[in-house]
Amino acid sequence: MIRSLLTVTDLGREGFHKLLDLAAELKEAKRDGRERPVLTGRNIALVFGKDSTRTRCAFEVAAYDQGAHVTYLGPSGSHLGREESVADTARVLGAMFDGIEFRGFGQETVEELARHAGVPVWNGLTDQWHPTQMLADVLTMREHHPGAVESIGYCFTGDGRGNIARSLLMTGAMLGMDVRIAAPAALSPPQSLVEEARRLARASGAQVTVTEDLPSALDGAAFVYTDVWVSMGEADAEWDRRVPLLTPYRVTAEVMAATGRRDTRFLHCLPAVHDTTTQAGRRVHERYGLEGAEVSDEVFTSPASVVFQQAENRLHTIKALMVAALGG
């Protein structure tokens, strides 16, 4: 049975939780030195149209831990979409590999790969969805919140149209969580997506809130989540448009305090613009006078920040994804 993961709702509520349970087991086994490889002899293709740190490393280490081999094809490492169609590339890779990861721009590309490859295809990120990130995010929330997942309330603040906000909206709605998206009206999630999330929420018991009012979205939130204001591949001019819109939604110590909880945690998919030690951070400071963009360094480096545990969990959840698809 082919077990691809193309969008955040592909697994369904039960499948999502089963994969997280497997990820938790694999994480514990790795920590205790008792991991048992079940992917020996398997070959995985990693097709990257966008560069990455966490996604590439997570897939590679997960595969190696489980005895599999990987072949990395970077942005200029194949003919995909230039000299060769997506369908033809899918057929070639599917004949040589047991599974394919794709990270790039168009959702239609990963879906066409899945239609023609004949092996599992996993979405490592597209402009619309980031399903492997959602697995890591909810595992991290489970680890830092007592009780059922359905009791968790989280607030995403920032650009509500991006793949992270879209994915958080639909994941929370599917799992029965209390999901809040706080964004300026010009950067709010598409209304059709909000309506689909509310349809899922009616079935799962989730609460879905999309609002411009950040303080109301923060109230009682166990987790505050944000993402970069301008993503890889977008025009530099987008900074001039988005900084005035998004500055009121940046995560500061005051924003964290506004949840009214002492145990609120901070999440970010990374990389983050939180200080002036990077080219992006220095440019934001020089052009807009901000020390960090979407999050202050005070929050990013605080005890409330669990972003590096969240990043590590990419490894364990991606490993679970591959084991579930190919280990049987």
pLDDT by residue for the chain (328 residues), tens digit each? 569 999 999 999 999 999 999 999 999 999 999 999 999 999 999 999 998 999 999 999 999 999 999 999 988 777 676 788 999 999 999 999 999 999 999 999 999 999 999 999 999 999 999 999 999 999 999 999 999 999 999 999 999 999 999 999 999 999 999 999 999 999 999 999 999 999 999 999 999 999 999 999 999 999 999 999 998 778 889 999 999 999 999 999 999 999 999 999 999 999 999 999 999 999 999 999 999 999 999 999 999 999 999 999 999 999 999 999 999 7
Of 54, 56, 130, 268, which one is the catalytic site residue? Answer: 130
Q: How far apart are CA 124 and CA 70, in angstroms?
A: 15
- Give CA separation, 260 vs 219, 224, 255, in Å: 6, 12, 10
Nearest to 245 by CA among 289, 212, 268: 212
Interior/surface letters 230-266, b for 16+ CB within 10 angstroms, e for the rest: beeeeeeeebeebbebbeebbbeeebbebbebeebbb
Q: Assess whether 130 carries a catalytic annotation.
A: yes
Nearest to 313 by CA among 275, 263, 268, 264: 268
Phi-psi region of 95 (alpha: psi -120 to 50; beta: other; left: phi over 0): alpha
303-309-311 Cα angle (round to 5)? 125
Of 56, 133, 142, 265, which one is the catalytic site residue? Answer: 133
What is this structure's pTM?
0.96
CATH number of 145-305: 3.40.50.1370
* Structure token digits, residue 284: 């934001």
Q: Assess whether 207 carries a catalytic annotation.
A: no
| One-letter identity of residue 48 | F
Q: How far apart are CA 239 and CA 120, in angstroms?
A: 37
3-class DSSP state of 265: strand
Helix (H) or strand (E) holding 111: helix 107-117
CATH of region 12-130+313-326, choose from 3.40.190.10, 3.40.50.1370, 3.90.1150.10, 3.30.465.10: 3.40.50.1370
DSSP state of 232: T
Of 227, 268, 274, 275, which one is the catalytic site residue? Answer: 227
Q: Assess whether 155 carries a catalytic annotation.
A: no
pLDDT, position 1: 55
Q: Assess whether 57 carries a catalytic annotation.
A: no
Question: Edge-to-edge strands of the sheet including 207-211?
Answer: 207-211, 178-182, 153-157, 223-226, 265-268
Of 42, 155, 268, 269, which one is the catalytic site residue? Answer: 269
Domain extent listing, the chain: 12-130+313-326, 145-305
